[in-house]
Amino acid sequence: MRNIALGCRFLMMSDINAGMGVSQLPRSLLFVPGSEERKVAKAFAESGADAVVVDLEDAVAVAMKDRARVMALSALSAADQAGPARMIRLNGADTPHFAADIAAVATLDAGTIDAVVVPKATSEAVAAVAEVGLPVIAIVETAVGLRRAYETARSACVFALLLGSADLAAELNLTRRPNRHALLYPRSQLVVDSAAAAIAPPVDGVYENFRDAKGLEAEARYAHALGFGGKACIHPAQVPVVNRAFSPSLEEIEWAHAVVDLDAAGAEEGRGAAALEGTLIDAAVVRRASQILSRAKGAST
């Protein structure tokens, strides 16, 4: 998970389509309270998450904000660079803690932190964070944020959007049911806006019941099928489930190898397209196969 930024941008869709760097997309982002040093240290050392997000916002009581900020920066500085990507979620731009959070992050040595997570993101909030020169994950969790998601995605330093499903559902008065239709529109919009803005696929919101592994896996696979690249986690037990759901299956890998091999053979023979088990193999299918193989390689590292 090192080298997650290209300058102040994450992977462009052109890189992803070419099969470059897909292994850098975080499948699992584990949020951990910044005020709980033991949990933060354990998350980095034992969780197996692609990224650990030290949280200064929802998980920290107002009275603990200043102390949590100091503890969080210390934990991020001490985290092993060979482990999960190191991220921090700031307090919202509409809070009195936002400026102090940015100022604190700006004091960190280069290479200490990999990305900043911005809640209730708008292009204005992201612009303030961009000044520290770090990649940004922008959480879309308000109606206004959803309407302006493409604008946010096009902002400097934003490399991915994250669906803040709980907050958004509450604001929109949605009733979330097992068929998941309530959030289909927001999910689909984030996928389209991310692709149109040439950034990484979005990250799906948390699944609140961390004891329900079957429900989590079903939701993660649903989000993956819609075009998401990863999912936020709130408990270490969710990490292996999410990593598995966002990694190619053996069948997908075998299919992708067959497609790539067939395409290579066709190129040598001067054929423009071929068929595999009755399916036309054209440039778009080959591109999809290359993406699968790149994700499979990343999942094994």
Task: Write out pLDDT tens, residues 206-217.
Answer: 999 999 999 999
Same domain, 105 and 214: yes
- Whether 179 is in a domain gets the answer yes
Judgement on whether residues 261 and 212 belong to the same structural domain of the protein: no
Strand, helix or coil at 274? strand
Residues 282 and 224 occupy one common structural domain: no
Q: Are residues 194 and 257 in the same domain?
A: no
How do residues 136-151 score in pLDDT, each as one tens digit? 999 999 999 999 999 9
The answer to the question of residue 177 being in a domain is yes
The model's confidence at residue 248, banded by pLDDT at 50, 70 and 90, is confident
CATH of the domain at 212: 3.20.20.60
Judge whether 3 lies within some domain. no
**Domain range enclosing 255:** 251-299
Structure token digits, residue 160: 């991915």
**Are residue 49 and residue 183 in the same domain, yes or no?**
yes
Q: What is the reported pTM?
A: 0.84
Please compute the mean of the pLDDT values over residues 56-84 and round it to a whole number.
92
One domain, residues 282 and 139 = no
- DSSP β-bridge partners for residue 69: none
Same domain, 230 and 257: no
Domain membership of residue 267 (yes or no) is: yes
Q: Find out whether 152 and 145 touch, Cβ atoms under 8 Å.
A: yes
Beta bridge partners of residue 253, listed in sequence order: none
Read off the DSSP letter of residue 134: -
Alpha-carbon distance 13 to 63, whole Å?
A: 42
Domain identity same for 157 and 193? yes
Number of folded domains that form the chain: 2
pLDDT in tens, 110-136: 889 999 999 999 999 999 998 888 999
Mark whether 111 and 200 lie in a shared domain.
yes
**8 located within any domain:** no
Residues 242 and 142 in one domain: yes
Q: Are residues 217 and 290 in the same domain?
A: no
